[in-house]
Amino acid sequence: MQLPRHRRRSAIWLVCRALTVPIGAALTLAAAGPARADGIATPEPYHWVSPPPGQAAGNQAPASGSGTVAFTGGRAEPGSIFTDDGQVTFSLPQGAFAPATGQTGVRIAITPVRPQPAPPAGHVPDGNAYSITATYEPSAAPAILLTPALLDMRYPPGHRPESIYRIDGSGWTSLGGSVQTLLQTIDARISQTGRFVAGHQGAAGTSASSGPPGLLFVIALALVSAGVLLLIAGVRFRRGR
């Protein structure tokens, strides 16, 4: 049975409306160039301690960062300390350090390790190694973590680490980690300060992943979204018959 003209026009209008949003999103992403699918701007180029071949010319030295967690009411305040270039963030819960007599807080320092420590056999670093220290103020005596804190590390494009490792002498201890591909970060909870690096197991010169999804992925996602919207439009149209 042929549909009435006004219903054919309504169906065409629903199809066009269903296609407009996902296709428009894909075109916007294409025009934006390096913009991310989730609306987050592409991070700055990674700042290497020891840049790979071919990347030394435009490389900038990685930054350090420091800050103080104060004691209030007999407990250490929560807080986040990060490097000036945003490549490492160290987030502390309340009460992460024990108060000490005569001490006003704990100073946290995050410093790129120079030179980059050589990895043990079968491991590949995905970015710089960083040293994290915690000392009481004003005595500068070492402070010990009472509860785990969250360490978040950016990794370079074209890499995807499997874990954050604690560097113990010449060995690496895996702490696990949660990878945020779109943000190009990996985070893990650590129970002590020290030296840390993101990495994965494999042969030297390999990476675990090619990094964040590209434009083809977003276009495919847009088409799937269009199909879902068309299905919804079809259901609404059939209900109105």
**pLDDT per position as a tens digit, 208-220:** 444 444 444 445 5
CB 155 within 8 A of CB 9: no
Is position 51 within any domain?
Answer: no
Are 106 and 172 part of one and the same domain? yes
* DSSP label at residue 188: E
Residues 197, 96 within the same domain: yes
Q: Are residues 148 and 121 in the same domain?
A: yes
What is d(CA 76, CA 71) in angstroms, rounded to the nearest whole number? 4
Q: What pLDDT score was predicted for residue 216?
A: 44
Which whole number is the average pLDDT over 48-58?
91
pLDDT at 197 over 90: yes
Q: Are residues 127 and 227 in the same domain?
A: no
Structural domain includes residue 230? yes
- Classify each residue of 139-155 as buried b or exposed e, where b means 16 or more C-beta atoms within 10 Å of its C-beta: eeeebebeeebebbbbb
Least Cα distance to 150 among 116, 185, 124 occurs for: 185
For residue 108, is pLDDT > 90?
Answer: yes
* Residue 128 in tokens: 């710089």
- Among 87-91, 118-122, 232-236, the minimum mean pLDDT is found in 232-236
Domain co-membership, 223 together with 190: no
Token pair belonging to 164: 């954050």
> What local confidence, expressed as pLDDT, does residue 235 receive?
45
Any domain includes 164: yes
The answer to whether position 231 is within a domain reads: yes
Q: Rounded mean pLDDT of 148-175?
A: 95
* 224 and 132 assigned to the same domain: no
pLDDT of residue 79: 96
CATH code at 102?
2.60.220.30
Per-chain mean pLDDT for the chain: 80
Residue 63 predicted with pLDDT over 60: yes
Dihedral class, residue 184 (left if φ above 0, else alpha if ψ from -120 to 50, else beta):
left
Structure tokens, 141: 């005596």
Residues 96 and 177 in one domain: yes
Structural contact between residues 195 and 166, judged by C-beta atoms closer than 8 angstroms:
yes
- pLDDT score of 237: 46
Does residue 93 share a domain with residue 24? no
Averaged over 4-17, what is the pLDDT? 50
| 186, 110: one domain | yes
Q: Say if residue 141 is in the same domain as residue 93.
A: yes
173 against 43, higher pLDDT: 173
Domain count, the chain: 2
One domain for residues 81 and 172: yes
Percent of the chain with pLDDT over 70: 66
**Residue ranges of E strands in 113-234:** 123-137, 149-154, 163-168, 171-174, 178-180, 185-190, 194-201
Band (202; pLDDT cuts 50, 70, 90): confident
DSSP per-residue string spanning 65-130: EEEEEEEETTEEPPEEEE-TTSSEEEEE-TT-B---TT--EEEEEEEE-SSPPPPPTTEEEEEEEE
In a domain, 181, yes or no: yes
Quote the percentage of the chain above a pLDDT of 90: 61
Looking at the structure, do residues 136 and 33 belong to the same domain, yes or no?
Answer: no
The residue segments making up the domain with residue 80 are 65-201
| 176 assigned to some structural domain | yes
- Identify which of 148, 168, 160, 182 has the alpha carbon closest to the alpha carbon of residue 39: 182
Q: What confidence score (pLDDT) does residue 17 get?
A: 52
At 227 the pLDDT is: 56
Which band of pLDDT confidence, cut at 50, 70 and 90, is reported for residue 65? very high
pLDDT tens-digit readout, 123-160: 999 999 999 999 999 999 999 999 999 999 999 999 98
What's the pLDDT at 38?
A: 47
Among 40, 69, 53, CA closest to 184: 40
